[in-house]
Amino acid sequence: MNKENILVAIDIGTAKISVILAEVDDLGDTHIIGFGEANSNGIEKGIITKPGELYKSIKEAVSLAEASSGFKISSAIINVGGPHLDFKNEKESLIFSTSQKEIDENDITALIEKVSTKVNKENYEVIHVIPKWYVLDEEDKVIDPVGLIANKLEGEFHIILNKSTNLNNIKRIVESAGIKIADFVATPIASANAVLYDEEKEMGVAVVDIGAGTTDIVIYKDGSPHFIKSLPIGGNQITMDIAHRFKLSKLEAENLKLQCSLASTEYILENDFIEVEIRGSEEKVQIERFEVVDTIEARLSEILEKIREQLENSGYYQKLNAGVVLTGGVANTGYIKDFAEKILEKDVRIGKPRNYKGFIDKLSFPQYATSIGIILFKKNALQKNEIESFNQPINLTEKFKSIFEKIKNMF
Ligand SMILES: Nc1ncnc2c1ncn2[C@@H]1O[C@H](COP(=O)(O)OP(=O)(O)OP(=O)(O)O)[C@@H](O)[C@H]1O
Ligand SMILES: [Mg+2]
């Protein structure tokens, strides 16, 4: 297999590790060609608690993805998130010595380097510098200034940082599994790339990825991210509430939760009793569906209240004209859209990953937004770098040829 056009993503989550291999074709379409998944152990609420366990989980997921694709994975793009993420919105400018300077890619690179140095924060590393817009000669706001003439180029950027120690720890664990890290992508940015439509990014939208241990939020406005936040809350809390209330193991509680997956008791059509087998004993217990859903509702409403609080604190709540897109495993909960609309008082839709081919039956679920999003984010970033033709029509095949060059260089 030609390995030059293949991107590998590893989503290190609290519940699962997902590994996806994708091939980018001559037209820039993304084809998933391999998938592997393992239960995740050793990471809680975005914090690595047992490196040895995490290593084993990554190894297992990688082996399954290799078996599924017939491709040996030597390098991958990894997500980072949790409490180690931080962001800044920052402006920076370049003043040219000539007033008739035609702006080229090198100027953009210089500006990005300048702004990255400016936000330098002790013990943090910059992982993304995402342009919001540029201003030419303090007048014209443009999205892509390359090829335009100006004396002064100013840019406003959304910059995402992550704690260096966390990056180094992930690096050590992944590398000890024999995999080089080609790049890091912030979890909320990855998820947003898989589920959002461009119009939503323009209008103002929040993507909320509710996983097992973390809830990752990103707000887009005018086409780019403006705010990110990771909260240490998620589906595991619901599972643990059920485990405590009905005195079940975590696994039994998780199964019971999935069997009764409704956001609120108001959506129960028929109340009944569910028989739960208790592991390691002959005993079976009867649990009322209403009580399980009541437990889910209590914690889910608390999680959604906390999300609302963050959206309000961000200062963008009133600007979310396209509402909220819920993704991550918890977004599978029955009627969560209706329930969340009441608490958030915004339009809500469930975000499933889009814009890829292959493995659709397996991956078209909210819990794969991050892994598919890692691939799409990287592909788009490589693609964007190629858009230098100002007046000329873009030759897609030529453009992606050079993207392949870049992908090749990552391995
Ligand atoms: N149908 C469902 N109903 C309710 N909850 C569900 C359903 N499917 C999955 N979940 C929950 O979603 C959570 C897992 O989501 P996901 O796979 O997105 O997490 P993760 O990416 O591993 O974790 P994190 O992003 O928090 O590190 C679990 O708590 C699981 O119980
Ligand atoms: Mg996740």
pLDDT tens readout for residues 336-370: 999 999 999 999 999 999 999 999 999 999 999 99
Q: Is 14 in the pocket of ligand 1 (CB under 6 A)?
A: yes
- Cα 93 to Cα 117: distance, rounded to the nearest angstrom: 13
- pLDDT at site 1: 44
When pLDDT is cut at 50, 70 and 90, the band that residue 68 belongs to is: very high
Q: What is the pTM of this model?
A: 0.93
C-beta of 236 in contact with ligand 1 (< 6 A) = yes
Q: Which ligand is nearest to the CA of 191?
A: 2
Atom of ligand 1 nearest to the CA of 40: 22
Closest ligand 1 atom, residue 328 Cα: 18
Is residue 204 domain-shared with residue 347, that is, in the same domain?
yes
pLDDT at 409: 52
Say whether both 3 and 103 belong to one domain. no
Residue 272 CA to residue 142 CA, distance in Å, equals: 60
140: confidence class by pLDDT, cuts 50, 70, 90: confident
How high is the pLDDT of residue 205?
98
Ligand 1 pocket check for 330: Cβ under 6 Å: yes
Q: Answer yes or no: do 317 and 250 share one domain.
A: yes
Name the residue of 19, 250, 258 to mutate for ligand 1: max ligand atoms within 8 A of Cβ. Answer: 258
Instruction: State the total domains in the chain.
Output: 3
Q: What is the CATH number of the domain that holds 93?
A: 3.30.1490.110
Asked, for residue 174, whether it belongs to a domain, the answer is no
Same domain for 340 and 394?
A: no
Banded model confidence at residue 406, pLDDT cuts 50, 70, 90: low
- pLDDT value, residue 283: 80
Residues 12/79, Cβ–Cβ less than 8 Å: yes
Q: Strand 324-327 relative to strand 348-350: parallel, antiparallel, unpaired? A: parallel
Same domain, 254 and 344: yes
35 and 96 share one domain: no
Ligand nearest to the CA of 82: 1
Is the distance from the beta carbon of residue 188 to the nearest atom of ligand 1 less than 6 Å?
no
CATH (domain of 241): 3.30.420.40
Mean pLDDT of 241-270: 95
Q: Decide if 227 is inside a domain.
A: yes
Confidence of residue 307 (pLDDT cuts 50, 70, 90): very high
Indicate whether 340 and 215 sit together in one domain. Answer: yes
CA–CA dist 83, 85 (Å, integer):
6
Q: Give a yes or no: residue 192 inside a domain.
A: no
Query: Domain check: are 347 and 271 in the same one?
Result: yes
Task: State the closest ligand 1 atom to the C-alpha of 187, by its place in the atom list counted from 1.
Answer: 25
Q: Same structural domain for residues 49 and 144?
A: no
> How far does the centroid of ligand 2 lie from the alpha carbon of residue 57, in Å?
15
When pLDDT is averaged across residues 72-85 and rounded to a whole number, the result is 95
Inside any domain, residue 190: no
Of 14, 48, 185, 215, best ligand 1 pocket probe by most atoms within 8 Å of the beta carbon: 14
Cβ 258 under 6 angstroms from ligand 1: yes
From 351, 376, 399, the end of a domain falls on 351
Q: 211 CA to middle of ligand 2, Å?
A: 5
Residues 336 and 367 in one domain: no
CATH number at residue 359: 3.30.420
Atom of ligand 1 nearest to the CA of 215: 26
Q: For 3-20, what is the mean pLDDT? A: 92
Q: Which two tokens stand for residue 227?
A: 């705010």
Give me the mean pLDDT over the 92-99 stretch: 90
CA of 238, nearest ligand number = 1
Which residue segment(s) compose the domain that 66 sits in? 1-74+353-411
Pick the last residue of a domain from 110, 145, 164: 164
Ligand 1, pocket-test mutation among 54, 330, 362, 371, most atoms within 8 A of CB:
330
More confident site: 219 or 46: 219
- Please check the confidence at residue 195 and state whether its pLDDT lies above 90: yes
User: Once rounded to an integer, what is the mean pLDDT over residues 273-291?
Assistant: 86
Mutate to test the pocket of ligand 1, among 49, 332, 363, 372 (most ligand atoms within 8 A of CB): 332
Mean pLDDT of the chain: 91
pLDDT mean over 234-262: 96
Label each residue of the chain as H, E or C. CCHHHEEEEEEECCCEEEEEEEEECCCCCEEEEEEEEEECCCEECCEECCHHHHHHHHHHHHHHHHHHHCCCCCEEEEEECHHHEEEEEEEEEEECCCCCEECCHHHHHHHHHHHHHHCCCCCEEEEEEEEEEEEECCCEEECCCCCCEECEEEEEEEEEEEEHHHHHHHHHHHHHCCCEEEEEEEHHHHHHHHHCCHHHHHHCEEEEEECCCCEEEEEEECCEEEEEEEECCCHHHHHHHHHHHHCCCHHHHHHHHHHCCECCHHHCCCCCEEEEECCCCCCEEEEEHHHHHHHHHHHHHHHHHHHHHHHHHCCCHHHCCCCEEEECHHHHCECHHHHHHHHHCCCEEECCCCCCECCHHHHCCHHHHHHHHHHHHHHHHHHHCCCCCCCCCCCHHHHHHHHHHHHHHHC
Quote the ligand 2 centre to 205 CA distance (angstroms).
Answer: 19
Instruction: Please check whether residues 359 and 345 belong to one and the same domain.
Output: no
Give 336's Cβ-side CA count (13 Å radius).
28
- CA dist 333 and 269 (Å) reads 15
pLDDT of residue 404: 53
Within a domain: 370:
yes
Better-scored residue on pLDDT, 26 or 52:
52
Q: What pLDDT sits at residue 97?
A: 87
Q: Does the C-beta of 353 come closer than 6 Å to ligand 1?
A: no
pLDDT of residue 399: 44
The pLDDT value given to residue 391:
28
pLDDT confidence band for 130 (50 / 70 / 90): very high
Pseudo-torsion of CA 99, 104, 107, 112, nearest 10°?
140
For residue 170, tell me if it sits in a domain. Answer: no
At 196, which amino acid appears? L
**pLDDT of 363-405, one tens digit each?**
999 999 999 999 999 998 888 764 332 223 334 345 445 555 5
Instruction: Give nearest CA residue, ligand 1 atom 15.
Output: 329
241 lines ligand 1 (CB under 6 A): no
Task: Confirm whether 53 is domain-assigned.
Answer: yes
Cβ(262) to ligand 1 under 6 A?
Answer: no
Answer yes or no: do 249 and 345 share one domain.
yes
- Residue type (1 letter), 85: L
Residue 169 lies in a domain: no
Closest ligand (CA of 367) = 1
Q: What is the mean pLDDT of residues 314-331?
A: 98
In terms of phi and psi (left: phi > 0; alpha: psi -120 to 50; beta: otherwise), the region of 178 is left
